[in-house]
Amino acid sequence: MSAPVIPLVIGDKEYSEASDGFGESRNPATGAVVASFARAGEKEVNLAVSAARRAFDEGPWNRMRPFERARIMHRIGELMLERRDEIARLESEDSGKPLRDAYWEVDCSARFFEFYGGAADKLQGRSIPLGPNYSDWTVREGIGVSLHIIPWNYPFQLIARGVAPALAAGCSVIIKPATETPVTAYEFLKICREAGLPEGQVNLINGRGSLVGDLLARHPGVDQITFTGSVATGQRVMEAAASHAIPTNMELGGKSPQVLFADAEMEKALPIIAGGFLTHAGQVCNAGTRLLVERSIHDDVVERLHQHIQSMRLGAGVDDPDMGPLINTSHRDDVERYYEVARGDGELLLGADVPSDTALAEGAFVRPGLVIGASNETRIAREEVFGPILTVIPFDTPDEAIRIANDSPFGLVAGVHTTNINKALGLGEKLRVGQVWINSFGVGLDVEFPFGGYKLSGFGREKGLEAIAAYQQIKNICIHHPLS
Ligand X SMILES: CCCCCC/C=C/C(=O)O
Ligand Y SMILES: NC(=O)C1=CN([C@@H]2O[C@H](COP(=O)(O)OP(=O)(O)OC[C@H]3O[C@@H](n4cnc5c(N)ncnc54)[C@H](OP(=O)(O)O)[C@@H]3O)[C@@H](O)[C@H]2O)C=CC1
Per CB under 6 A, residues contacting ligand Y are: 149-153, 176, 178-180, 208-210, 213-214, 217, 228-230, 233, 236-237, 252-253, 285, 331, 384, 386
Candidate residues 25, 27, 36, 153; the one interacting with ligand X per rule CB under 6 A: 153
Closer CB to ligand Y, residue 79 or residue 250? 250
Distances (CA, A) of 260 to 281, 293, 375: 21, 5, 17
Closest CA to 192 of 90, 117, 99: 117
Sheet holding 413-417, edge to edge: 347-350, 369-372, 389-395, 290-294, 257-260, 413-417, 435-438
Q: How far is the CB of 252 from ligand Y (least distance, A)?
A: 5
Query: For 323, which DSSP code?
Result: B
Instruction: Give the footprint of ligand X on residues 187-246 (CB under 6 A).
Output: 228
Identify which range of 61-69, 89-97, 150-158, 399-407 contacts ligand X by CB under 6 A.
Answer: 150-158
Q: How far is the CB of 279 from ligand Y (least distance, A)?
A: 12
Closer CB to ligand Y, residue 263 or residue 333? 333
Could you tell me where the DSSP H helices lie in 311-357?
329-345
Q: How far is the CB of 115 from ligand X (least distance, A)?
A: 15
Identify which range of 85-93, 187-195, 266-274, 278-286 contacts ligand X by CB under 6 A.
Answer: 278-286
Q: Is 251 a catalytic residue?
A: yes
Identify which range of 149-157, 186-194, 372-380, 469-477 contacts ligand X by CB under 6 A.
Answer: 149-157
Q: What angle do CA 400, 405, 410 make, to 5 degrees?
A: 155
Candidate residues 76, 285, 364, 427; the one interacting with ligand X per rule CB under 6 A: 285
Instruction: Give residues with Cβ within 8 angstroms of 478, minimum separation 6.
Output: 130, 134, 135, 136
Strand bridging mode 369-372 / 347-350: antiparallel
Binder of residue 179, out of ligand X, ligand Y, none (CB less than 5 to 8 A by kind): ligand Y
251 is a site residue for ligand X (CB under 6 A): yes
Candidate residues 315, 355, 387, 442; the one interacting with ligand X per rule CB under 6 A: 442
Instruction: Give residues with Cβ within 8 angstroms of 358, minimum separation 6.
Output: none
What is the C-alpha separation between 37 and 379, in angstroms, rounded?
A: 37
Half-sphere exposure of 376 (CA within 13 A, CB side): 21
Binder of residue 152, out of ligand X, ligand Y, none (CB less than 5 to 8 A by kind): ligand Y
Closer CB to ligand Y, residue 95 or residue 258? 95
What is the C-alpha separation between 380 and 356, in angstroms, rounded?
A: 28
Closer CB to ligand Y, residue 216 or residue 402? 216
Identify which range of 19-27, 151-159, 424-432, 452-460 contacts ligand X by CB under 6 A.
Answer: 151-159
The strand ranges marked E within 209-288 are 224-228, 248-251, 257-260
What is the C-alpha separation between 153 and 105, in angstroms, rounded?
A: 11
Instruction: Check 93, 199, 251, 384 and give the catalytic one.
Output: 251
The residues annotated with a catalytic role in the active site are 251
Q: Which residues bind ligand X (CB under 6 A)?
A: 153-154, 157, 228, 251, 279, 284-285, 442
